[in-house]
Structure 1
Amino acid sequence: MSMNDFAVLSTGRKMPLVGLGTWKSEPGQVKQAVIWALQSGYRHIDCAPIYGNEPEIGEAFQEMMGPEKGIRREDVFVTSKLWNTKHHPDDVEPSLLKTLKDLKLEYLDLYLIHWPYLLSRRGDTSFPRNEDGTLLYDNIDYKLTWAAMEKLVGKGLVRAIGLSNFNSRQIDDILSVASIKPTVLQVESHPYLAQVELLAHCRDRSLVMTAYSPLGSPDRAWKHPEEPVLLEEPAIAALAKKYNKTPAQIIIRWQTQRGVVTIPKSITQSRIKENIQVFDFTLEPEEMNQVTALHRGWRYIVPTITVSYITVSHIIQQSTKFYMAFNTGVTLKQNIMLKLLF
């Protein structure tokens, strides 16, 4: 990548517009994927402890970065995230230190609150549950979590802090109390979920948006056979043919051309190389609009919860009105409260 292929954070730090996502990259696969990425010119790796592979990513960093290894630590932008059971202010720094140990790093370039809701600290599980199997929540205000995140910047453990899966209201909640403002919002985004309004909200507040699952996450285990396949979208296929690119490259180019950082996941060497080869062509303005117009409010990353024989994820996908209700939680049948992941 050239130095023009970056988003500039409000801190002045440059964040590469294309990074390697590591969600769903299994141990035994992710080390080699990170090595291939760094060899292919990637200088941005997106991580999280909940992915279960940070120790192996750390092995790749140790092998590839450092004096006489050709890649300097300061040239690689590394992101990780604070998991939902670690929102208590006392847990924030220890969680980061564990990530730094696993990644074999002295600091992170960016640390995000992974989700805006808090799960109970009880036990060592990442998904604590009640006796009836429902998730066990806690009620610590994420603004207190943010204050603890700010201290990490002061200690030099992270260069910047940000948010993931927060909506516009929640972003403004954080901004209302922040001494150190969030620099990045990471959310699901792709042509079927263009996030135009949220992107504008971020721009107005000097946040850079990062898109996860930018290709529709076709390898996730719970995909439905009847869901739309983003990589088979005819309009994108036509652009791919015109520019002699893959559909994935067209989608990534669309995101980067509108200033959205994109973190496609792959463990295949050829695809890792392809996904970053998007800076040698430019989509025309009408083509950018054509891709944006594919928006249909479709989320691929939706938990499926069945209550009284009603599949909640189906309701969300079928009705914008219901989706907005579920954004803040909605009561179905007496005292059953569903809190979804966004």
Structure 2
Amino acid sequence: TPLARVEARDIVTGRARYTADVRLDRLARGAIARPPVRGARATRVDDRAARAVPGVIAVVHDGDIVGVVAEREEQARAAADALEIDWETPQRASSETQVVPMREDAGTDAALASAALTRSATYTLPSIASASIGPSAAVVDVRPDGATVYAGTHRPFGLRDAVAGSVGLPKESVRVMPQMSSGTYGRSSAPDVSVEAAVLSKHARRPVLVQWSRAEEFAHSPSRPEAVLEVTAGLDASGHMVAWRYDEHTNIHTAAGPDPRVAAMTSGRNAVPPYTIPSARVVLHVEPTPLRTANFRSLAAAENVFAIESFVDELAHASPQDPLAFRLRHVDDPRLRRVIER
């Protein structure tokens, strides 16, 4: 018997409560003045016009965050728009491609050169916005002795640490209250909106709700990295794969840093094919990008599985062989065989 989701009725009838529905005593609204380019820093903020907007509680310039706290959201946004800001555009950082070998068998090039049949293909995937139906939101109440965060999040402990660091509190004094949220496909791993609300709350000395607009979400939230997937394979005279060469060019999928093990688990997820191939070379190339990229649903598995399975279909067609039978000829793992056979 199917189990009904306990919150399904509340969702479809509008009774469900999300982060933006949280109401605390003296709750104020916050808005952020966004930089013209990623990484730009405010060097001068003239807030005289902003402070003249009715309802303004505080104008904040704290590190990379420039924003306004007001009684109502429209007041906060109007005041943020009234700020006159000089921005310093960052110098383009010189960044090198990170090359991570995922599988390197000797003799792959020779096996390709001697194959009875070879095929090559290139697959490209664009950057994709998470485009959650509910834009990012957070309510944060920062007090001298601690803070409480109300937000939808994939990483409550990472969120706690980020908020604590942004307002100078020990992480043990920050309490995260995870809220219901719409599907974000990895977007909620980023603590940005909660950090913004925390910094504004600290300066306003009141709880603050920050909710991104749809325009902010598309312009400033992290997106799925782009990918170019180059693959070449060789078959022998009986139609078996004897060699496989695969180069995945993509961007960073996580902010965890340059550790090649992290790159392999994230940007390189599922890059190594699940099929039995005597000789293969699989290399991950993590390319620099000016775009803000981060975790996306399945990390790199979606792009790699798409490319690998599409190319296996092409090999089966070129052989010619039945695509299902072709796969089974190259599968030794009993569990995977059962999956394919079903």
The structure with more strand, counted as a fraction of residues: 2
**TM-score over 0.5 for the pair:** no
Q: Which has the larger radius of gyration?
A: 2
**TM-score, length basis structure 2:** 0.26
Q: Which structure has more RCO (C-alpha within 8 Å, separation ≥ 6)?
A: 2
The structure with more helix, counted as a fraction of residues: 1
